[in-house]
Every structure is written in C-alpha cells, then in structure tokens.
C-alpha cells in the first residue's frame, strides 16, 4: 500500500477494498490508483467541496436531546463503497425473496393466520407485538401489498458473507442521503466516476411515484398522491421534503387534510381536492386520533375509516410494524420456507429470543459476549453491546430481560466488514453496513446499492447517524 493508504491497517476483519496480504481487490483498483495520486490536502479540499454542497442543499438530520444542537449536516465519506455485479445479483435475489415472504406473512396474520395455526410462529409473539394492529384483521388492502417501501439492513461477517441484520418495514429513512451522496460524488470526482460503469440511482423518485399510483383505489385513473409528514421538527423532515420534490407531489401535514363523507380531501387555495394515495411518514400511533392515540395532533381524524372503506390508499399499510419487530425478525427464515418453500438466500444473523426459556438462560449467562436489542427500538437506542458494557449496564439489562422476556433478542457480536474512510486527513478502516431500499409494487425493484452507513468513530460498530455514524456513496457495477 502506498500514498494515503501507506499506514492502512486491515485488522482481523473482512475488508471491502483489500484482500488478505494487502492486495487490492480488482473492482477497487482504479479507485485505489486515483486516491494514491492525491495528497492529504487534495482530499481535504474535495471533502470541503462535498460538505459545502450538502450545506447548500440542506442535507441534514436531527439529533434529539443533544446539548450541541439538534440540526446536523449528515457526515459524508469521500471513498465510495463498490459492489460487483455478481454480489449485487445475490443481494437482489435475497431481498426479493424476503420482501415477498414478508408481504405474504402480513396478508396471512391479518386474515387466515395459517402460520400461527401451523405453529410456525407462536401466537403469543404476534398478539404481544407492539405494532400488531387488531384493527387491520379482516381488512384487505390494494394489491395485497402491505410493505410497499422497505429498508433492509445488511452486514458482512468476517468471511464476507452478507447477512440480514433487520427489516425496516414502517417508515424506512435514508434514501435521500443515498441520492445526495451520488450527486456529491459526481461533482467531486467526475472523471473517476465516468471510468466506472456504475448503475444509476436517479430513477428512484419516478419508481416510487409509479408504485404509489399503482396502489391507488380501484377505478382511479389519475390518482392524486401526497406525502404526509409529521412536520418540520421531525428528524427525517429533510427526506420528506426531498422525496415530495422528487416525485412532484404535495407535502402535507395533518392540518392540510380533512375527511368528509369517508373520503380524504386536501385544502388548497382553490378549494378541496380529493386525495387518493398517501405516502405517510407518520407512525400508526399518530395517524388517526379517532382510532389510535387520542391526543395526536399530527394525523387526520377519520382517515382510518376512509382507508377501511377503500377510498384512500396508504403506503406503507397500517400494521406493517409487526414485521420489523426484532422478535418477529427471528422467524423470517421460517416464513420464507413456509410461504415460498425455499431456503433463505440471505441468512439472518444468529439470534436468541429471551421469550424462549432456554435462549433466555443462555443470554443471561453470556451477556458479556452478546449484543442485546429491544424489540422495537431503533437508531442504536435500547441496545447493549455486551463486550463493551460495564457490569452495571449488563445487570440493568439482565433485570429488564427477566421482567419482560418478550421484548429482547440477543446476537453474537459480528465483526462487521470494514472499508477505508478518510479520518482527519488519514485513511483508516471503519465498519459499515448497507441499507438497500426495496419497492414492492407491480414489480419488485431495488435501487442499486442502497445507503452505506459508516461508524466514523474508531473501533465503533454502531453506524447510526444519531450515534456518530456517516455515509458513503455505494457503487453497484454493471459487470
């Protein structure tokens, strides 16, 4: 290794750019050559150009309860992650299989519940799921599509095997950063980008709009689609506004809509306009105070009844959160076998359920070796990194597990793959994951690449932006 990589340490991890012995993997060779031509000052200058572009575009996210302020520029690393065509083919097939099974599962548990009757999943797991909605039982949704947009998190272990870490089936965030990262890379490295055959990502907005129009109520020829946001104080508001602009649709808050005669109407300067499809970025709990949380002022009173009558479509459907419960995640490989009669193409990370007595005993005996997660937390919250935790933290989780076994899963600490990242003028290895975005409509499409999240703190395995993570552009090659 030379130039900026001269001091690079691979470590005992799967490295995306370097094979054992420091040999550059072939699909990274041109990128490696380009960066070795650059000085630390060149890299700093390009990083400033990218950062300025993000500031101009307002590419931000919100961190709650932080003394340094809430609004942040999303950290961006200049060295892209590259995925060869054969690897992407495996990921696409695996995610297609998974989203198909998840939608069949949701259709089943809100109708016949065969998977429970056949004892593939314990009934108690479903009934006790925080996001299981009894109000949806017996209600059919357009095209039998429940999760229309899904962000499934993938990692690679120390052998380079792709594994599913979790499914985000409610309101997955991050696709706007994926799209902005691509724009930044084209601006900062136009010649390098042109030398690679990288699959484009800029069709996402039109693909998403086509999907939303596809699930419009029957008989609607030219549906009106809107994006419903909780408002400007939501951590993902930048993304909400970005996606609405990309699709050329209105972004609305609850107060902009009303329900009359079991139909949803949007208030406009020229009067009321009927709404047919809502891409809602509000959780079920806040969607309709007549049905869910009575105190919510974010949603629209009566919208669920309009939904039940088939007068408006919602994406994602109400009740999809049961599928991204981390306890239900445990059963996804079984769902794939049950509904599709196939073996999973992408395996889960080995997982223990404290719901089961034997697993709970194992978890409590091995807390110092395991990662423990709460069933419905996200963003890196509600998690114990056992090997790095203090005795007091482990004891606190042990008590929580004993008090509420349904709420916890545990996994062995996976040595996430690493990739070179620019850190204060040096190039060092940092751990990463990958969140591809899957659209489930008249066809299944997956934006090539997804959002690569980077744990920018040295040695950290937590990639969430709220925990000090950043992101990279992800290049999927044509061949």
- Give mean pLDDT, residues 139-161: 95
Residue pLDDT, tens place only, 318-351 = 999 999 899 999 999 999 999 999 999 999 999 9
Contact 81, 450 (CB under 8 A): no
How does DSSP assign 5-70, residue by residue? Answer: GTT----SS-BSSEETTTEEPGGGHHHHHHHHTS-HHHHHHHHHHHHHHHHHHT-EEE-TT-TT-S
Residue pLDDT, tens place only, 389-425 = 999 999 999 999 999 999 999 999 988 999 999 987 7
Query: In angstroms, rounded to a whole number, what is the distance separating the alpha carbons of residues 254 and 278?
Result: 11
Confidence of residue 61 (pLDDT cuts 50, 70, 90): low
C-alpha of 356 from chain center: 28
Q: What is the percent of the chain where pLDDT is above 70?
A: 96
Confidence of residue 236 (pLDDT cuts 50, 70, 90): confident
Show Cβ contacts of residue 357 under 8 Å, excluding neighbours closer than 6 positions: none
Residue pLDDT, tens place only, 163-184 = 999 999 998 999 999 999 999 9
Query: In angstroms, rounded to a whole number, what is the distance separating the alpha carbons of residues 318 and 123?
Result: 20
| Range in 39-48, 156-165, 272-281, 373-382 with the lowest mean pLDDT | 373-382
Query: Which pLDDT belongs to residue 131?
Result: 94
| Range in 44-48, 210-214, 338-342 with the lowest mean pLDDT | 44-48
Contact 379, 145 (CB under 8 A): no
Residue pLDDT, tens place only, 439-457 = 999 999 999 999 999 998 8
- Give mean pLDDT, residues 48-58: 83
Confidence of residue 379 (pLDDT cuts 50, 70, 90): low
Sheet containing 257-260: which strands, arranged edge to edge? Answer: 257-260, 263-268, 271-275
Query: In angstroms, rounded to a whole number, what is the distance separating the alpha carbons of residues 305 and 317?
Result: 14
Query: In angstroms, rounded to a whole number, what is the distance separating the alpha carbons of residues 129 and 321?
Result: 9
| Range in 144-158, 253-267, 366-380 with the lowest mean pLDDT | 366-380
Instruction: Find the length of the chain.
Output: 479
Query: In angstroms, rounded to a whole number, what is the distance separating the alpha carbons of residues 44 and 386?
Result: 36
Query: In angstroms, rounded to a whole number, what is the distance separating the alpha carbons of residues 11 and 395?
Result: 31
Above 60 in pLDDT, residue 67? no
Show Cβ contacts of residue 232 under 8 Å, excluding neighbours closer than 6 positions: none
Query: Which pLDDT belongs to residue 73?
Result: 73
Confidence of residue 380 (pLDDT cuts 50, 70, 90): low
Query: Which pLDDT belongs to residue 70?
Result: 58
Query: In angstroms, rounded to a whole number, what is the distance separating the alpha carbons of residues 97 and 167?
Result: 13
- Round the average pLDDT of the chain to a whole number and report it: 92
From the list 249, 237, 211, the residue with the least C-alpha distance to 440 is: 211
Residue pLDDT, tens place only, 281-314 = 999 999 999 999 999 889 999 999 999 999 999 9
């Amino acid at each position: 290794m030379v130039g900026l990589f001269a001091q690079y340490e691979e470590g005992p991890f799967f490295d995306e750019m370097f094979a054992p012995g420091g040999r550059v993997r072939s699909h990274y060779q041109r990128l490696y050559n380009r960066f070795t031509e650059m000085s630390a000052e060149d890299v700093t200058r390009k990083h400033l150009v990218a950062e300025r572009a993000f500031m101009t575009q307002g590419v931000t996210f919100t961190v709650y309860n932080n003394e340094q302020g809430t609004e942040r520029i999303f950290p961006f690393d200049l060295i892209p992650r590259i995925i060869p065509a054969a690897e992407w083919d495996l990921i696409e097939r695996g995610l297609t299989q998974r989203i198909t099974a998840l939608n069949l599962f949701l259709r089943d548990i809100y109708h016949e519940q065969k998977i429970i009757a056949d004892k593939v999943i314990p009934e108690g797991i479903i009934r006790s799921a925080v996001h299981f909605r009894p109000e949806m039982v017996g209600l059919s949704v357009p095209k039998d599509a429940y999760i229309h947009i899904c962000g499934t998190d993938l990692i690679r272990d120390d052998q380079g095997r792709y594994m599913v870490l979790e499914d985000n089936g409610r309101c997955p965030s991050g696709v706007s950063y994926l799209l902005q990262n691509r724009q930044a890379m084209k601006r900062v490295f136009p010649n390098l980008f042109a030398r690679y055959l990288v699959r484009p990502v800029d069709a996402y907005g039109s693909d998403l709009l086509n999907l939303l129009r596809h699930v419009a109520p029957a008989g609607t020829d030219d549906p009106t689609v809107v994006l419903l946001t909780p408002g400007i104080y939501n951590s993902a508001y930048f993304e909400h506004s970005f996606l609405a602009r990309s699709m050329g649709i209105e972004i609305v808050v609850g107060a902009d809509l009303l329900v009359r005669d079991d139909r949803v109407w949007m208030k406009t300067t020229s009067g009321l306009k009927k709404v047919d499809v809502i891409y809602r970025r509000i959780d079920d709990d806040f969607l309709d105070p007549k049905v869910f949380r009575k105190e919510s002022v974010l949603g629209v009173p009566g919208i669920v009844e309009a939904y039940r009558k088939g007068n408006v479509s919602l994406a994602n459907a109400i009740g999809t959160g049961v599928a991204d419960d981390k306890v239900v995640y445990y059963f996804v490989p079984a769902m794939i076998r049950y509904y599709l009669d196939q073996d999973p193409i992408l395996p889960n990370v080995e997982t223990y359920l404290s719901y089961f007595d034997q697993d709970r005993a194992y978890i409590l005996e091995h807390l110092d070796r395991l990662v423990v997660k709460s069933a419905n937390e996200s963003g890196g919250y509600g998690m114990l990194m056992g090997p790095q935790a203090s005795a007091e933290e482990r004891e606190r989780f042990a008590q929580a597990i004993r008090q509420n076994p349904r709420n916890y899963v545990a996994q062995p600490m996976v040595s996430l793959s690493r990739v070179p990242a620019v850190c204060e003028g040096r190039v060092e290895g940092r751990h990463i994951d990958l969140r591809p975005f899957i659209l489930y409509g008249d066809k299944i499409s997956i934006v090539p690449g997804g959002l690569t999240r980077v744990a920018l703190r040295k040695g950290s395995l937590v990639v969430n932006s709220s925990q000090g993570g950043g992101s990279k552009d992800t290049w999927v090659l044509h061949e």
